[in-house]
């Protein structure tokens, strides 16, 4: 009896060269957004294991291929991806983040549109760390935009406002330190007890402590009665031990 050879799904060449289908699509001198989106779909559908690392390798591939594309095309592509149920939202945010002219082209209105629809902590954090935080840090958008998010009745916009302070202070994300704007948002949400906001609040203060230890410590002491217990515990642990949750 002859055994049948097991069939396996072909592995994607993502991170190296595009598959034949996407290569044909991108071979045009000026591929339009529809064609680029189709090429992305082809590459993602060919992934053997569509986890974050694999999807990110596809994003890197397209970032290289679209390095010279006009910023408005990258932003339009990102907007289209956000409406595509089969592609993670971080893919769109990273495309803009890694295309400097596109990132620098963002306005308050465009930025807010890109963040609309985020309804989980991971989507919010990707948007805030890759787009809104860096754009705000470079003062492309006014403080009042982030303040407006902090006043929102929507928990996810309030979390976005808080997490947007992280790139102001996190060195790995390009932060140079900005105590004033970080505490501006923290003061607005000091009484917020939504768990998603509280966790972000703790993160924001812990990042600030790496840049301005005295200000973070003073803020914690002055607002101890108003702050959520989690914030007090985690930030105090960070200040005393260097760890959020020491064993």
Minimal CA–CA distance to 84: which of 128, 31, 40?
Answer: 40
Minimal CA–CA distance to 39: which of 23, 60, 59, 55?
Answer: 23
Q: Check whether 21 has a pLDDT greater than 60.
A: no
Per-residue model confidence (pLDDT) at position 20: 54
Q: Which of 105, 128, 157 is the last residue of a domain?
A: 105
Separation of alpha carbons 49 and 47, rounded Å: 5
* 77 and 160 assigned to the same domain: no
Separation of alpha carbons 239 and 225, rounded Å: 18
* 99 and 131 assigned to the same domain: no
Q: Check whether 202 has a pLDDT greater than 80.
A: yes
Separation of alpha carbons 93 and 123, rounded Å: 10
- Residue 10, in any domain of the structure: no
Separation of alpha carbons 107 and 230, rounded Å: 35
- Domain of residue 135 covers 120-247
- Residue 95, in any domain of the structure: yes
What are the two backbone dihedrals, phi and then psi, of residue 100, each rounded to the nearest 5 degrees?
A: -55, -45
* 58 and 137 assigned to the same domain: no
Per-residue model confidence (pLDDT) at position 31: 75
Sorted by sequence, the CB contacts under 8 Å of residue 78 that are 6+ apart come out as 92, 93, 95, 96, 102, 114
- Residue corresponding to tokens 């790496």: 210
What is the domain-level CATH number for residue 218?
A: 1.25.10.90
* 101 and 124 assigned to the same domain: no
Q: Check whether 9 has a pLDDT greater than 50.
A: no
- Residue 23, in any domain of the structure: no
Taking the model in full, what pTM does it have?
0.87
* 126 and 228 assigned to the same domain: yes
Per-residue model confidence (pLDDT) at position 239: 86
Q: Which of 105, 136, 154 is the last residue of a domain?
A: 105
Q: What average pLDDT score do residues 134-150 get?
A: 98
- Residue 188, in any domain of the structure: yes
Q: Check whether 232 has a pLDDT greater than 80.
A: yes
* Burial readout 140-171 (b: 16 or more C-beta within 10 A, e: otherwise): bbeeebbeebbeeeebbbbbbbbbbbbbbbbe
* 157 and 219 assigned to the same domain: yes
Sorted by sequence, the CB contacts under 8 Å of residue 101 that are 6+ apart come out as 70, 71, 74
* 95 and 128 assigned to the same domain: no
* 227 and 127 assigned to the same domain: yes
* 237 and 150 assigned to the same domain: yes
pLDDT > 70: what percent of the chain? 87
- Residue 27, in any domain of the structure: no
Separation of alpha carbons 212 and 214, rounded Å: 6
Give residue 233's pLDDT band: very low, low, confident or very high (50, 70, 90): very high
Per-residue model confidence (pLDDT) at position 28: 53
- Residue 101, in any domain of the structure: yes
Least confident of 16-30, 87-101, 152-166: 16-30
- Residue 19, in any domain of the structure: no
Per-residue model confidence (pLDDT) at position 244: 73
Per-residue model confidence (pLDDT) at position 245: 73
Asked if 162 and 197 count as a contact pair (C-beta separation under 8 A), the reply is: yes
Per-residue model confidence (pLDDT) at position 241: 80
What number of other Cβ atoms are within 10 A of residue 188's Cβ?
17
Number of structural domains (the chain) is 2
pLDDT > 90: what percent of the chain? 79
Q: What average pLDDT score do residues 81-100 get?
A: 96
Separation in Å, CA 210 to CA 96, 130, 242: 28, 20, 10
Give residue 242's pLDDT band: very low, low, confident or very high (50, 70, 90): confident
Asked if 76 and 33 count as a contact pair (C-beta separation under 8 A), the reply is: yes
Minimal CA–CA distance to 138: which of 90, 173, 104?
Answer: 104
* 145 and 191 assigned to the same domain: yes
- Residue corresponding to tokens 């003073």: 218
* 80 and 177 assigned to the same domain: no
* 97 and 167 assigned to the same domain: no
Q: Check whether 203 has a pLDDT greater than 50.
A: yes
- Residue 60, in any domain of the structure: yes
Average pLDDT, whole number, for the chain?
A: 89
Q: Check whether 80 has a pLDDT greater than 50.
A: yes
């Amino acid at each position: 009896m002859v055994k049948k050879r097991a069939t396996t799904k072909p592995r994607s060449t993502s991170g190296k060269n595009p598959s034949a289908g996407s290569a044909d699509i991108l071979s045009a001198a000026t591929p339009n957004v529809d064609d680029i989106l189709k090429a992305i779909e082809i590459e993602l559908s060919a992934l053997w294991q569509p986890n974050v690392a694999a999807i990110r390798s596809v994003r890197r591939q397209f970032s290289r291929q679209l390095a010279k594309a006009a910023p408005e095309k990258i932003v339009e592509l990102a907007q289209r991806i956000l409406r595509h149920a089969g592609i993670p939202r971080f893919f769109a945010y990273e495309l803009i983040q890694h295309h400097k002219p596109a990132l620098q082209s963002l306005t308050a209105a465009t930025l807010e549109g890109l963040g609309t629809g985020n309804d989980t902590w991971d989507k919010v954090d990707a948007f805030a760390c890759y787009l809104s935080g860096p754009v705000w840090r470079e003062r492309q958008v006014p403080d009042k935009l982030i303040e407006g998010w902090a006043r929102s009745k929507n928990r996810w916009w309030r979390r976005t406002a808080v997490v947007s302070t992280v790139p102001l202070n996190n060195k790995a994300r390009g932060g140079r330190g900005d105590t004033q704007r970080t505490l501006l948002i923290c003061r607005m949400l000091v009484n917020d007890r939504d768990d998603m906001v509280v966790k972000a609040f703790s993160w924001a203060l812990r990042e600030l402590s790496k840049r301005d230890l005295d200000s973070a410590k003073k803020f914690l002491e002055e607002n101890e009665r108003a702050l959520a217990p989690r914030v007090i515990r985690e930030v105090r642990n960070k200040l005393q031990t260097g760890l959020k949750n020491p064993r």
